[in-house]
Every structure is written in C-alpha cells, then in structure tokens.
Amino acid sequence: MSPGARYTELPATHRSHLQNVRALLPYLWAFRGQVALALGCLLAAKFATVGVPLLLKAIVDALAARPGGQALLPVALLAGYGALKLAATLFNELRDALFARVRYRAIRRITLLTLEHLHRLSLRFHLERKTGAIARDLQRGSQSLSTLLNYLVFSILPALVELALVCGVLLGAYDPVFVGVILGSIVAYVAFTLAVTNWRIDYRHDMNRLESQAQNEAVDGLINYETVKYFGNERLELERCDTTLAGWERASVDSQGSLALLNFGQGAIIALAVTLIMFVAAGQVVDGRLSLGDLVLVNAFLLQLFIPLNFLGVVYRMIRYALADMDQLVRLLGERAEITDAADARALAVRAGEVRFEAVDFAYTADRPILHGVDFVIPPGRKLAVVGASGAGKSTLARLLFRFYDVQRGRILIDGQDVRHVTQASLRAAIGIVPQDTVLFNETLEYNLRYARPEASRAEIEAAARAAQLDGFIASLPQGYDTVVGERGLKLSGGEKQRVAIARAILKRPRILVFDEATSSLDSRSEQAILAALKDVARGHTALVIAHRLSTVVDADEILVMAQGRIVERGTHAALLALGGQYAELWALQQRERRTGAAA
C-alpha cells in the first residue's frame, strides 16, 4: 500500500488519543518555563478564589453577631474581600497573558513543522494526496492543538485545583457529608458525560470525514475549472459535492440531537446534587451546628464548583473533538519520507558535470515496470536527447536524476558520485529543469522568476527574461513584472508559462540542465526563437533533452530512442536517419505533418 493510500484509508478511531498527545508534547516542551509561570499564576488565582467565600462567611458572621441591629462594618474583612477578588482577576489575566505566547507559538511551530514535513515527503505521496482534504486536516489539526491547550489550562486544571482546595476546606471544618455529596455528584456527572460523549464521537468522525471530502471535491473542481467548463459538468460537480454534504448534514443533525440528551442528563445530575447538599446545610443550620455564614460559605462553594462543572461536558466534548481532529495531523506527521539522505551523505561536488545511468531498472509499483537496463552517459558539456512515444519512460529519467524516486537496480552517477549517497539539496541545486507542465505560484511574475534564485538582482531577472524571449511580453503588461499570474499561472498561456520556466532555468545557473518537452506549448515560430535561446543556455552545460518533436533535438550530440522502457536506438540525427529504423520513421511522419500544417 502506498503512503498516500495509507493516509486516506486509516480511520481516526484506530489511533490512541494518548499517543497523539505524546506525539505533540515535544512541540510544547520548549515553553516549559512560561508554562510553569502560568501554572503558578493559576494556583495563586485559585487560592484567592477559594479565600473569597471564607471571607464572605466571616463578614456574615460578624454582622449577625452584633446585638440590637447596631452592627459595625467589618472594614478589614470587606477590604480583604475586595482585595481577594482583585487578586483572583489579576492572576487569571497574568496566566492568560503568559500562556498566550505558549499557545500561539506552539500552533505556529507545529504548522511550520508540518509544512516542512510535507515538503520532505516523496513525490509518490504528493501525486496520490488529496490537496483539499490535507489542507482542511492541517487547519483543523493546528486549531485542535489550540483548543486542547485552551481547555486544559483554562478549564480543566483550574477546576481540578479549585475542587481540591474546596474539598480540603470542607473536610477540615465541616461534616464529611458535604464532600461526599460533591464528589459523588462529580463522579456521576463525569461517568454520564463520558458514556454519552463516547457514543456521540462517531458522529464527529463522520462529520470530519465528510467535511474533508466535500472540501476536497470543491477544491478539486475549482482547480480543474477549465476541464469542468470544457465538458459542461458544473451540475455534476455540484451534485457530487451536495451528495457528500447531505451525509455531513445527517451526521451533524444526529450529533445535535444527542447533544440535547447529554445536556439534559448533566443538568439533572447538577440539580439533584445542589438540592441534596442545600437540604443538608439548611438542616444543620436549624440544628445549630452551622451558622448563617457557614450556609453562605457552602452555597458559595457550590456556585464556584458547579458553574464551571456545568461546562465540563462541553469542555470534555471539545477536548475529545480536538483529539479526533488532531488524529489526522499526527498521522500526517507520522508519514515516513520514501526518499531520505543517507546518514553519511555528503554534498554533491560537481566538477565536470558528467551524468551516467548504469543499467537502471525502475518501477513505480511492482506490477508496473517502467525502465529496463537503461544505460547511457552524457559527457561534460554535451547534449543528449531522449525521444520516443508517450509512456516510453522519458520523463521518468528526469525524475530519477532529481532523485524523486530511487532506482531498483543499477545506479545514477554525477561525476562518479551515486546520487543516493549525496544530499538531496545539493543534488537538486546542481540541476536546472524546464518541465513539460510549468505550474506557477499565484504571485507576481517577478516572484515566479526570482523563485529560481531568491537572492538574484532585478537586473539578473530581467536578463534571464530577455534570454527566454519573455521581456517583450512583460513590457506589454500594464503592471509589468508586478503582474499576478493567477492560480497555477492560469492567466498566462502555455507558451508564456514555458518561457517563465526557461527564464528560471537560466537564472538558476546550474551545471546540469534538463529540458522536458521544453517547447511543447509553443507554436513553430516561437519554437525557433526559444530553441536559439535554449541552445545558448545549454552551451557549456551538460544537458538532458526529453522531446517529442524531433526538430528540437537535431543538434544533440547523441539521441536515444526509447520504446517500452528500453533504449532501442542511439546515435546522432544523421546516423539514425541512415539507420532507417524507428527514429527515421518518426522523423518522416513529423515532417509530413509539418508540411501539411504549413500548407494549411
């Protein structure tokens, strides 16, 4: 099973939430100092919060003890009461301020680390991925980390600390029955919440899965906008997305209905506990065992405990949902890169620039062999062309040279160095490519040109554009180099995009060049102009030219003819024509097509 297939097929419920939390803890460990300060503020705030009812009891008892209704104001107690309220607010705000940097920096780090990890994954994974679903899972995963931290630090921990302090006070000064009722009601509340929420979580998984699927379908339709228009399938795209959204709607409605049941059960438990504990407290006041201040104290403690407890179900559900949302992100981080640098990998040392394929066998999958015993050498500074029918394995050579995949047998050498034994970064820095399908960023022309060498000057960018015959087109644009090219470069024609790719290859200034159908989107007139530019660019460079039009490779030092993953002919243009084989037949066919097109 391929990495991409494994990613989309494994249900979220097959992973442990504890494993997910452990997987993300290293991203938070760097902030342990700030976390400790925030927790210190949390404890201080809770001590102040629990002290408020104690002072309130003292104030009520002090007022009730004055005879004849001539009570004096307990100024010190009232001032202390206000000071504790202020201290609780101050420490809560300090906690929030200290933890804000932790929370948002952690989200920033994990987002960047995930993106870095995605860039490290193999081409195979990215060819099989569903971009919309991954984007949604990444967004939901980073948000879930924020949710988890938010509820743990601002809801769960404060509630537990306050519960411990209140139980300590009640056990030290009052009948144990109060603590028994409080703890019993909490146990019942938590047990009921866990049971119902665990039942409801399946609805959440269905909602997540269907939401990601719907977003992926919507994004996929928009990315392929032109194809949708060509076939007039707007209604088909809407129906496909609506079918998925209908399932999401059903799961959402079921989730909301079960939420109503959960809320009612939680409210019933809280109401029963409050009624029972107030009956006990009131009875002890009547018996004279408790004062009015004690009754106020118990009531205040109940309010402080049960008000946050009333949201415990929501908090627990949100934490469970956050853990479920986090699952896809954690598994994405768990994807292993198919192509990695060896432990002793060194930077590629390019001297002359010789490229050598030695008896290379390659298959994308075991049942799909592509290359069989491919063997050739491109001497330094020479040009080798590869031609053949579609599916012959020509473009696979470029992917193997860039080490997007590793060969099954044989080896690929650059100046005698096996590409599997050098770092990927140094290998790809030494090779420039003009791909068949040039995909541009939705940025300006200058950004897309500068992408080849970010430190290049504006003068160097303009020189590269001139060499690629792109400067006239840019000059005709109102915004010139600041023109935004649109999603995937849709605002440019195929020929204009290929000129951008050629300019980038020129700007990169690599020692080795790969031209993969570099003029496939150009008309004959533009092709001749670009071929002259490519010839100048390739001069003095080791060049691998992959082509369908034979007219673009007649000047190559050697031409390989591939069929079904094998080299069936090799030689110069003249030698291959004299051979009278597949190359000669293809040349004659293309010349007839060219004459017919010119006549038309």
Domains and CATH numbers, the chain: 3-334 (1.20.1560.10)
> 365-382: string of b/e by CB count within 10 Å (b at 16+)?
eeeeebbbebebebebbb
Give the pairing of strands 512-516 and 431-434: parallel
Distance (Å, whole) CA 558 – CA 255:
67
On the question of pLDDT at 1 being above 50, the answer is no
pLDDT-derived band at 13, boundaries 50, 70, 90 = very low
For residues 194-215, average pLDDT: 81
The token pair that represents 254 in the structure block? 């079921």
Choose the weakest-confidence range: 98-107, 121-130, 490-499. Answer: 121-130
Asked if pLDDT for residue 18 goes beyond 50, the answer is yes
Average pLDDT rounded to a whole number, residues 353-380: 91
Whether the pLDDT of residue 27 is over 70: the answer is no
Locate tokens 């995909």: which residue? 439
**Residue 150: which of 107, 212, 114, 201 has the closest Cα?**
107
| pLDDT attached to residue 523 | 62
Residue type, 288: G
Q: What are phi and psi of 514, to 5 degrees?
A: -125, 125
In sequence order, what E strands does 379-495 have?
383-388, 409-414, 417-418, 431-434
pLDDT, position 388 = 87
Averaged pLDDT for residues 10-17? 46
**pLDDT attached to residue 569:** 94
Instruction: Give the pLDDT confidence score for residue 174 in this predicted structure.
Output: 83
For residue 11, pLDDT beyond 50? no
Residue 559 pLDDT: 95
**436: pLDDT confidence band, cut at 50, 70 and 90?**
confident
R_g of the chain computed on alpha carbons: 35
Which tokens hold the place of 146? 């924020």
Q: Which residues contact 381 (CB under 8 A, 6 or more apart)?
A: 352, 353, 540, 541, 542
* Residue 261 predicted with pLDDT over 70: yes
pLDDT at 221: 86
Vertex 97: Cα angle to 312 and 39 (nearest 5): 60
Helices and strands of the chain, counted as H and E runs:
21, 10
Query: Worst-scoring range by mean pLDDT, 139-148, 396-405, 471-480?
Result: 139-148
